[in-house]
Amino acid sequence: MTEQKGKKRNFRGMSYRVVQLANSKNRSKLHKKDQIWLKENFYKNVGWDNVINIYQKIEEFIGNYYLEELTLEELFIEADKIGNKYLTNQEINDYNQSLSKEVNEVAEEIDKQFPETEIEFIDFSQNTNIKYKSKPNQKTYRTVKI
């Protein structure tokens, strides 16, 4: 008599072997220090529970790499998105309106402190009176202040 195998297990729609292969590929994308850390902390790619644990840990490391590559502006945008998850639409709208009001007030104050009395025009025509030594294919422009 043959034994019937139980229901096949899946992790995120992947079989055991597919998860193992994904772990192997993604592990090679990790920094060397993180690969060593996984080995020192006994993360193995054998056995369902171990395969799932190492998959999640590798995902965590790769997610951290994404955050390391972001600029400061992108980090603030990401933080704003995370913060907005916990606010209602009304709270977000109220905040945006108050922020807009504050920005306008600051802009008005800057205009009061630093008024621009000169108007500047930029002449993009090819016929400029001033000749500069220029390299081939280099365009020159003149600025006219009124």
Longest C-alpha distance within the chain, in Å?
Answer: 100
Give the pLDDT confidence score for residue 65 in this predicted structure: 85
Pairing of strands 120-123, 142-145: antiparallel
Give the pLDDT confidence score for residue 101 in this predicted structure: 94
Q: pTM for the complete prediction? A: 0.48
CA distance 18 to 21: 5
Give the pLDDT confidence score for residue 27 in this predicted structure: 92
Give the pLDDT confidence score for residue 1 in this predicted structure: 42
How big is the chain by its Cα radius of gyration, in Å?
A: 30
With tokens 């772990």, the residue in question is: 23
Give the pLDDT confidence score for residue 2 in this predicted structure: 46
Asked whether 23 and 51 are in contact (CB, 8 A), the reply is: yes
Give the pLDDT confidence score for residue 103 in this predicted structure: 93
pLDDT in tens, 65-84: 877 777 888 888 888 888 88
Query: Domain spans of the chain?
Result: 16-69, 72-113
Question: Could you say which residues of the chain have pLDDT below 70?
Answer: 1-6, 126-142, 144-146
Give the pLDDT confidence score for residue 128 in this predicted structure: 58
